[in-house]
Amino acid sequence: MAFIEDFQANERKLDYEEKVVIAEGFLERYDVTEARNVYRWLWEGEFGAGSRTPPPSLEHLSQDIRVARMHARKADYTPSGLCEEIGLAQRFIKVNLVPYADSGCPLKRLVLLADRGREARPDPLRFKSDWAFMKTQIVPGMELTIDRMNHFEEEIAFHMAPEVEYSEDHLKKFGVGYRLVPRSLFFAYFPEYAPETESDDWLPNISDD
């Protein structure tokens, strides 16, 4: 299997309306009430899995799929499709393990794609800009407030964009049964899962040996 040299050359940029749709979808789907969950979602979209980067092992992936199944039954949680947006940077896509495994897609390919995420070169300035954008999506009546967002900034060294984990409540409800993979590469291999409204002219050319 031959990959392109630099998947980052194929990152696409969102316009304002697209950002709003993705941001609102995240806030509603995960019933977000804590600033740290917004932060982690954006952070993973820009920086990748961080300390959660899994070893490139088929055995480890199979184990994580089993754990994800148990969590889904225990928490009565159904993932939002096979893949979903993660953050606003359009660098990674979140691949939910149970739907992916049940689809019959090759597990080895997911291992290889996730490992490519190690090559990511994040843009901290873009990350901070996306954080500022998410503040504009906070409206009166939401449990999550601008004050909470600002207070969270003060609690961490925000200027350094540190890695911060999801809240315990978020992890209890939704778990971590997913892999982050380069977005362009994933849709190049699996165009059937790309959003219907998305053009494919930005996708990389790939080939299988």
Provide the residue ranges of all domains of the chain, joining segments of one domain with +. 19-191
**In the structure, what pLDDT confidence band is assigned to residue 4 with cuts at 50, 70 and 90?**
very low
pTM of the complete model: 0.91
Q: Does residue 17 register a pLDDT over 70?
A: yes
Handedness of CA 103, 107, 109, 113 (dihedral sign): positive
Q: Does residue 114 register a pLDDT over 90?
A: yes
Alpha carbons 192 and 121: distance in angstroms, whole number: 27
Q: Does residue 108 register a pLDDT over 90?
A: yes
**In the structure, what pLDDT confidence band is assigned to residue 92 with cuts at 50, 70 and 90?**
very high
Q: Does residue 5 register a pLDDT over 80?
A: no
Residue type at 2? A
> According to the model, what pLDDT value does residue 207 have?
47
Do residues 106 and 175 make contact, with C-beta atoms less than 8 angstroms apart? no
Tens digit of pLDDT for each residue in 56-74?
999 999 999 999 999 999 9
Structure tokens at 83: 């893949």
- The angle subtended at Cα 98 by Cα 93 and Cα 103, nearest 5°, is 85
Nearest C-alpha neighbor of 85 from the set 54, 37, 41, 132: 41
CA–CA distances in Å: residue 80 to residues 85, 95, 120, 194 = 10, 10, 25, 14
Structure tokens at 181: 């993979």
Residue with tokens 């897609």: 105
Bridge partners (DSSP) listed for residue 75? none
Residue with tokens 């709003």: 20
Residue with tokens 């800009």: 129
Tens digit of pLDDT for each residue in 159-195?
999 999 999 999 999 999 999 999 999 999 999 999 8
The DSSP secondary-structure symbol of 18 reads H
Handedness of CA 170, 176, 178, 181 (dihedral sign): positive
Residue type at 138? I
